[in-house]
């Protein structure tokens, strides 16, 4: 829970500080990279850390991740330009690539499917508290001190989390020799970087139909094909392709990607929309965003009771319907809307997310034993991070194109113009919600999970203590 708090707080704390950061460092059109660099680094390292956790155990991977997150936080707080801040956010992302999946993998190791229903409530409470603390701290620091403190606040959290994991967590990992898939990880990193770069800079740094516009995106797609070929030949692939033959894992990863894209789209643009278009301060914008991340743990804490009764697929479908309903509530929003209307729509979306995210992840974990649980959890988290990175890149490109390069770079964006640009983002969020619903509908039918806490595990001898 302490380690999860690192990622949870950082996911929301920077959103309310974007206007302050832009005012200090400049470059509104570049601010999506603050999210994309973090998420891209997280996405490409999650599968690697998942593989290493299945080989060396969860504890060492978690401690390395906390250390990287601490280093990135210190560097971000000392950033001197938008470019340096973006680079240091990538260092934070490397740490988050280990921390977030390891937290969920450890839960899958220690608790049975029935017990996870209760434990998910505890983990969800971390996101609930962080959803209030994160945006509030971001707003307070931006308004009364400096945005740099939103990164420095991570230092004590990292130290406490590392001490708790090092002191209290013990495991009996079945270590084995492994050939790390360096080539696969490298190709995947370059491919995703080119795709995100092409989407963010297309129409800004170069025309979409120009040689760089077509070449960068084309090279990214080509490298993805190369990545698949590399993984087929790798002795220990970073993304085992045989797992993608399972319908359950494919559909849950697709759902996770949609969840990540929707979450980051709203996290990135709701606070800015509330501040610029509705004329509020960072603190009020933080509370509007907090409604989204408050609704999530409220429903996630109850999702266990639901899927133990009706099954994980049915629970996920119900949640996706609620997400779609909340996204439709975003469409009427404009420069004359109230903050309560924004918060209300965000809260409904959060409720749906809580009913969808937890059951889909637990269903994927329950389908494998200890030896593949790290990889499967990493694959699910990778899909969410990749969806977030590509999603925020696409939405950033759309908003920048709507606003025009000059107004975006100067930060002088008229409230009405921003409202129109963000409305396009809201339309995209609705489309993603429809895809999310289709993904969970296609999940294989399942039976309600057993209520006994004595559920056996095929790799019980290797579980964490």
Q: Is the pLDDT of residue 333 over 80?
A: yes
Rg of the chain over all Cα atoms, to the nearest angstrom: 21
Position 447 scores a pLDDT of: 66
Residue 125 near residue 298, CB atoms below 8 Å: no
Q: Is the pLDDT of residue 459 over 50?
A: no
**Which structure tokens are listed for 133?**
């603390």
CA 218 to chain centre: 26
Position 225 scores a pLDDT of: 93
**According to the per-residue pLDDT averaged within each range, which of 119-123, 172-176, 217-221, 320-324 is highest?**
320-324
Position 463 scores a pLDDT of: 35
Position 455 scores a pLDDT of: 43
Average pLDDT over residues 323-340: 88
Position 461 scores a pLDDT of: 33
pLDDT interval class at 109 (50, 70, 90):
confident
Position 442 scores a pLDDT of: 93
Q: Is the pLDDT of residue 336 over 60?
A: yes
Q: What is the pLDDT of residues 116-165, one digit of tens each?
A: 766 766 776 676 667 567 767 777 777 777 888 888 888 988 999 999 88
Lowest mean pLDDT among 215-219, 344-348, 358-362: 358-362
Q: Is the pLDDT of residue 89 over 70?
A: yes
SS3 sequence, 188-232? HHHHHHHHHHHHHHECCCECCCCHHHHHHHHHHHHHHHHHHHHHH
pLDDT interval class at 458 (50, 70, 90):
very low
CB atoms within 10 A of CB 119: 17
Distance CA 268, CA 399 (A): 11
Residue 219 near residue 194, CB atoms below 8 Å: yes
**Residue 337, CA distances (Å) to 248, 275, 287, 340, 416 in order:** 41, 12, 16, 8, 12
Q: What is the pLDDT of residues 392-449, one digit of tens each?
A: 778 877 777 777 654 444 445 566 677 777 888 889 999 999 999 999 999 988 766 5
Q: What is the pLDDT of residues 179-217, one digit of tens each?
A: 667 788 788 878 877 877 777 666 666 777 888 888 988
Q: What is the pLDDT of residues 32-67, one digit of tens each?
A: 777 777 777 777 777 778 778 877 888 899 999 999
Q: What is the pLDDT of residues 229-277, one digit of tens each?
A: 998 888 778 777 777 788 888 999 999 999 988 988 887 788 878 887 7
pLDDT interval class at 453 (50, 70, 90):
very low
**Sign (positive or negative) of CA dihedral 82, 85, 402, 16:** negative
Q: What does the mean pLDDT of the chain come to?
A: 79
SS3 sequence, 237-248? CCCCHHHHHCHH
**Which structure tokens are listed for 299?**
């429903």
- What residue ranges do the domains of the chain occupy? 2-169+235-450, 182-234
Phi, psi angle pair for 332, to nearest 5°: -75, -5
Average pLDDT over residues 80-97: 88
pLDDT more than 70, % of the chain: 84
Distance CA 175, CA 179 (A): 13
Q: Which CATH superfamily is domain 2-169+235-450 in?
A: MFS general substrate transporter like domains (1.20.1250.20)
């Amino acid at each position: 829970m302490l380690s999860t708090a690192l990622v949870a707080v950082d996911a929301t704390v920077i959103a309310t500080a974007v206007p302050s950061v832009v005012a200090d460092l400049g470059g509104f059109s570049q601010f999506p990279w603050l999210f994309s660099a973090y998420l891209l680094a997280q996405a490409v390292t999650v599968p690697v850390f998942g593989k290493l956790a299945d080989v060396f155990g969860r504890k060492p991977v978690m401690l390395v991740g906390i250390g990287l997150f601490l280093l990135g936080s210190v560097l971000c707080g000392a950033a001197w330009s938008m470019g340096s801040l973006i680079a240091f956010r990538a260092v934070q992302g490397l740490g988050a690539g280990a921390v977030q999946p390891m937290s969920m993998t450890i839960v899958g190791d220690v608790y049975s499917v029935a017990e996870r229903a209760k434990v998910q409530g505890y983990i969800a409470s971390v996101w609930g508290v962080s959803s209030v603390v994160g945006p509030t701290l971001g707003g307070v620091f931006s308004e009364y001190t400096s945005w740099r403190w939103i990164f420095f606040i991570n230092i004590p959290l990292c130290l406490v989390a590392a001490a708790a994991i090092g002191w209290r967590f013990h495991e009996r990992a079945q270590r084995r020799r492994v050939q790390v898939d360096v080539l696969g990880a490298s190709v995947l990193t370059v491919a995703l970087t080119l795709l995100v770069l092409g989407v963010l800079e297309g129409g800004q740094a170069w025309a979409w139909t120009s040689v760089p516009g077509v070449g960068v995106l084309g090279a990214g797609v080509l490298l993805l094909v190369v990545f698949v070929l590399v993984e087929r030949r790798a002795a220990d692939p970073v993304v085992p392709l045989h797992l993608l033959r399972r319908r359950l894992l494919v559909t849950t990863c697709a759902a996770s990607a949609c969840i990540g894209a929707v979450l980051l789209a709203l996290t990135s643009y709701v606070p800015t929309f509330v501040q610029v278009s509705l004329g509020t301060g960072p603190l009020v914008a933080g509370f509007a965003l907090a409604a989204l991340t408050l609704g999530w743990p409220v429903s996630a804490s109850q999702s266990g009771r639901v899927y133990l009764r009706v099954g994980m697929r049915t629970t996920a479908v119900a949640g996706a319907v609620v997400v779609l309903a909340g996204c439709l509530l975003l469409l009427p929003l404009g420069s004359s809307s109230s903050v309560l209307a924004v918060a209300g729509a965000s809260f409904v979306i959060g409720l749906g997310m809580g009913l969808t995210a937890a059951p889909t992840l637990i269903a994927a974990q329950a389908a494998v034993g200890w030896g593949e649980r790290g990889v499967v959890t990493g694959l699910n988290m990778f899909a969410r991070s990749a969806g977030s990175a590509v999603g925020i890149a696409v939405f950033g490109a759309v908003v920048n194109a709507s606003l025009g390069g000059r107004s975006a770079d100067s930060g002088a964006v008229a409230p009405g113009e921003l409202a129109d640009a963000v409305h396009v983002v809201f339309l995209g969020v609705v489309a993603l919600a429809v895809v999310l619903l289709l993904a969970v509908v296609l999940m294989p039918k399942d039976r309600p999970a057993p209520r006994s806490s004595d559920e056996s595990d095929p790799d019980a001898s290797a579980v964490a203590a």
